[in-house]
A and B are shown apart, each in its own frame.
Chain A
Amino acid sequence: MKKKRRSVSYAKWGYIFILPFFICFFIFSLIPLIDTIRYSFFEYYRSGIKEIGPNFVGLQNYISLLGSDMLKYAGNTLILWVIGFIPQIVVALLLANWFTDIRLKIRGKQFFKVVIYLPNLIMASAFAMLFFAMFSTNGPINSILMSLGWISEPIDFLGSVIGTRSLVGLMNFLMWFGNTTIMLMAAIMGISQDIFEACELDGCTSIKRFFYITLPLIRPILAYTLITSIIGGLQMFDVPQILTNGQGNPDRTSMTLIMFLNSHLESRNYGMAGALSVYLFIVSGILCFFVYRMTNGTDSEAKAARKRAKAAKGGDRR
């Protein structure tokens, strides 16, 4: 105890510097978060301009959500995410591999990196509005296809399930593949050049090199990309919302979970919306746990080594 007092402690400055963040977090994140959970147990909404509630109803909101189409919307969200994610990861892997291949000597790499990242900088809602206009039945895409003679009747993209879902997928793909490419490039560049050289000396083709060297070595980052993308996908909202006018047309097949949440908020139904948020929170929490596990020691050998070291120290857990 005495020893501690004598040494100069700079720790307080650390606390002072992070204080603004914690104050902001407390006011703008933690309190609303707790409120959300609290209100999820209440009947609390607005009818016209009259407020109903809050009346405590226990788990009623959670139960009626399970009885609603929530799981269907979860399915929609998953499908929309998969449609966007598969091309995204394939293209990103391909591009990352090409850009980092020193033998290809691609010129203007920086330029391309900026260009593929650009769609991400456009506001998603503006992007969706652009697509909505382009793919409308009498829009430019249909006119081009018709004047080329490829189709005789205009295609009703937004009137069909496949059309709407693919458009949402396409937009998510365009917006995010640049981001993923850059992340994967960083991962590939982290691999020691010695390994690539060695495999070339052994006569690897570039395809073999990709599958046997690159892919296994960037697995942790790949997993990270996957999980963060799922979490992002869970919150998919602005693109389908704008593209389908908030209704998830046709037949509510492109209604995502957050759009469902949003339609509860039109009547300020804090109770239901809160319960839905808690469900989403739990799912995201589980996914986050996986990310945490992966980024902190996916390498089983390292883990085993650490365990051994700990065991040697003598049962000191954390």
Chain B
Amino acid sequence: MKKRVFAALMAAVTAAGLLAGCGSSGSDEGSGTTESTEEGKVINIYSWNDEFRTRLEAVYPEVESTSDDGTVTTLKDGTEIHWIINPNQDGVYQQKLDEALMNQADAAADDKIDIFLSETDYVYKYTDAEADVAMPLTDLGIDPDTDLADQYDFTKTTASDREGVQRGSTWQCCPGVLVYRRDIAQDVFGTDDPTAVGEKVKDWDTLKATAEELKAKGYYTFASYADTFRVYSNNISEPWVADGETTVKVDPLIMDWVENSKEWLDAGYLDKTVKGQFNDDWNKAMGSSSKVFAFLLPPWGIDFTLNPNWDGDTGAWAVTNPPQEYNWGGSYIHAATGTDNPEHVKDIILAMTAEKDTLLKISQDYLDFTNTVSGMEEAAADDTYASDFLGGQNAYEYYAPVAENIQIAPLSAYDLGCVELFQNSFSDYFQGNVDFDKAKDNFETAIKERYPDITEVQWPE
């Protein structure tokens, strides 16, 4: 008898717990269906930092106010934007986003994701037509051909699925340039003029000769072998993994990177003590006591990493053309499938990525290179866009031509892991811890561990 009472009690407690978990979604589902014709009251935006929020607050005309902790922005019609921010580190952002997207269908109307952001490294995962988590822009009522005609073509390609249906849009565009120290240029070349220095770094062969000059005076050309990686990896001709295949194909260009990096490192053109990027040593290499001549960075890199790490006088840096055009990064805005606020989402995407005036304002306030071809051409010719940090130089003059020439590398859903693990496996080789074949083996092991569906790695002959 007693046993039975206990059993009943336990069952009741367990059931109560289970029901409590389901309660919120279960009860709201009904209201979600009735409201589907009108707009919901809450717009949920998933992102990894406050970059998008600050820009939206600054330029979106419908914004009324933002709470002090930055989690809720109220629009003029009373709709609330809820910001759900998870850091990118260790894949936390994607984990949380994936979890939420998989529950999207069952979530209450106000809990559904309406907008989420993605980066170039993993945008392909979310634009996949089969997964269908990001709405095609045409379904929202945006026609990419007319509404987004002024955007750079490669950003549109990046945000499209394999059939070419655009499923996202961006306000920024990340042409990579070469940023160098004026004082070192003066010391070595006798001039710090961007055009003259640009001549010295115009392609890899010239740059190598220049590196020798720099070395003679005791300077490093770049900080780390990882600095040049994006230039190579953004110009590959085949995706890392072709659609529907389970083989990682390593592009010959990537192997060129390995070969050149090893050569440059051994020759002393790179600082041996700096391993990889975004670590303490790399940040220090941007300081005034470092011997590093240049960095290869996109506009956000200059604003977010170089500027905060520089401890000398302002105006010590200048921008010039890179040895090869490339793109690094970029945040894409997607409308989540199943959103209950399609009108708001459409309005936000258009306002943030298609309005030339808004984009130019973002460029002025945040130094972003924005996604408007005609606007950026104007900026390149307009001296009000000159930067104090770059000693009064108008960097748009160099960004704009790079942006126009970017051939975006074909993407795959495995890019993030491939890029990360490849660099990691081969840094052991660069440092002389393992030989070349062992580094290849390590990459194969690591990539198969990260992506269980990968069966083989093909190396170029």
Contacts and interface: CB of A to CB of B under 8 A. Distances in A.
Interface in B276-321: 279-281, 284
Interface in A37-70: 45-52, 68-69
B4 interface: no
B284 A267 contact: no
Contact of B424 (A48, A68, A249, A266): A249
A49 B281 CA distance: 35
Interface string A1-32: 00000000000100100010001000100000
A61 to B, nearest CB: 10
A249 B428 contact: yes
Interface residues of A, number: 40
B131 A27 contact: no
B13 interface: yes
A251 B433 contact: yes
Interface residues of B, number: 42
A48 B273 contact: no
A266 B125 CA distance: 15
Contacts of A266: 91, 450
A45 B452 contact: yes
B292 to A, nearest CB: 12
A46 B98 contact: yes
Nearest to A260: B449
B323 to A, nearest CB: 27
Interface string B252-292: 00000000000000000000011100011100100000000
Contacts of B14: 23, 27
Nearest to B279: A136
Interface string B5-29: 0100110011001000000000000
A267 B450 CA distance: 6
B6 A49 contact: no
A52 B273 contact: no
A30 to B, nearest CB: 12
A133 B280 contact: yes
Nearest to B97: A49
Interface stretch (A107-115, A154-162, A171-179, A198-206): A154-162
A139 B280 contact: yes
B126 interface: yes
Interface in A146-170: 154, 156, 159-161
Interface string A241-259: 0000111011110000000
B451 interface: yes
Nearest to A263: B449
A269 interface: yes
Contact of A47 (B13, B90, B428, B453): B453
Interface in B423-451: 424, 427-428, 431, 433-434, 438, 442, 445-446, 449-451
B453 A52 contact: yes
Contact of B125 (A12, A48, A68, A272): A48
A50 B131 CA distance: 7
A245 B446 CA distance: 14
Nearest to B2: A12
A137 B133 CA distance: 44
Contacts of A159: 275, 431, 433
Chain B CB within 10 Å, residue with most, of A12, A133, A136: A136
Nearest to B445: A69
Contacts of A161: 433
B280 A19 contact: no
Interface in B125-141: 125-126, 128, 130-131, 133
A154 B9 CA distance: 66
Contact of B451 (A137, A154, A267): A267
B431 A15 contact: no
A298 interface: no
A251 B442 contact: yes
B431 A250 contact: yes
A233 to B, nearest CB: 22
A293 B402 CA distance: 71
A19 B3 CA distance: 13
Contacts of B284: 138
B102 interface: yes
Given A48-B128, A250-B428, A250-B434, A137 B453 contact: no
A133 B130 CA distance: 44
A209 interface: no
A49 B10 contact: no
A65 to B, nearest CB: 11
Contacts of A250: 428, 431, 433-434
A109 to B, nearest CB: 39
A241 B133 CA distance: 32
Nearest to A136: B280
A159 B279 CA distance: 14
Contacts of B281: 136-138
Contacts of A133: 280
B413 interface: yes
Contacts of A48: 125, 128, 131, 413
B273 A138 contact: yes
A49 B280 contact: no
B13 A49 contact: no
A249 to B, nearest CB: 7
A66 B99 CA distance: 31
Chain B CB within 10 Å, residue with most, of A15, A49, A156: A49
Contacts of A47: 413, 451-453
A52 B17 CA distance: 29
A161 B421 CA distance: 19
Contacts of B273: 137-138, 154, 156
Given A136-B279, A138-B280, A247-B424, A269 B101 contact: no
Nearest to B90: A246
Chain A CB within 10 Å, residue with most, of B14, B273, B421: B273
25 contacts: A19-B10, A23-B14, A45-B453, A46-B98, A47-B413, A48-B128, A49-B101, A52-B452, A69-B445, A137-B275, A137-B281, A138-B280, A138-B281, A154-B273, A156-B431, A160-B433, A245-B424, A247-B446, A249-B424, A250-B431, A251-B438, A266-B450, A267-B451, A267-B452, A269-B452
Interface of A: 12, 15, 19, 23, 27, 45-52, 68-69, 132-133, 136-139, 154, 156, 159-161, 245-247, 249-252, 260, 263-264, 266-267, 269, 272
Given A27-B14, A49-B101, 14 more contacts: A23-B10, A47-B413, A48-B413, A49-B126, A49-B133, A50-B131, A132-B280, A133-B280, A137-B275, A159-B275, A159-B431, A250-B431, A252-B445, A260-B449
Query: 9 nearest interchain CB pairs?
Result: A137-B273, A250-B433, A48-B413, A48-B125, A45-B452, A251-B434, A263-B449, A49-B131, A250-B428
